[in-house]
Amino acid sequence: MTPVIIQDNFLSIEECKYLIDFYKSQPTPEKYNTTYPLNVETKDNSLAEKITKFGMTVNNSTVDWLQIVRWPYSNSGKELHIDDTSNKTTLSSIIYLNDDYEGGHTYFKDGTSFAPVVGRAIFFDGYHYPHGVSPIDKNDRYTVAVWMKKS
């Protein structure tokens, strides 16, 4: 099973700001649970290419789909779950676009918790590692959520 991998500075501060600005320039997406996910086209997308390049080194995975997600500061968070939306998912990733909020840590069933750091990416097998997001207590949290499949 693929271990949890942390990549600090996976995206630059400028890239993260660009993605947040891009999100804000789009019509507000439909609410999903407590979040507002914006699906992003992966064809001819430099972000998807960068993630795929890394995924190939981990377990030969390529981006299946990705979203920029806004987690509002009130009543956002997610209980432990597995990424079972697609039976093709072989690798999941969370990329933090900001860290000027309170809470919003990615945590795992074993108690491991990762603090948000701008540009940090966490790669893991989301089907085998139950994971969640601690409640966001102040300011909105922005992330890129990625689901990958075997190439």
Q: Is 107 helix (H, G, I), strand (E, B) or coil?
A: strand
pTM equals 0.95
* Residues contacting residue 65 through CB under 8 Å, at least 6 positions apart: 39, 42, 146, 147
Q: Are 98 and 149 in contact (CB under 8 A)?
A: no
The DSSP secondary-structure symbol of 15 reads H
What's the chain's length in residues? Answer: 151
24-58 pLDDT per residue, tens: 999 999 999 999 999 998 887 899 999 999 999 99
Radius of gyration of the CA atoms of the chain, in A: 14
Domains of the chain are 5-150 (2.60.120.620)
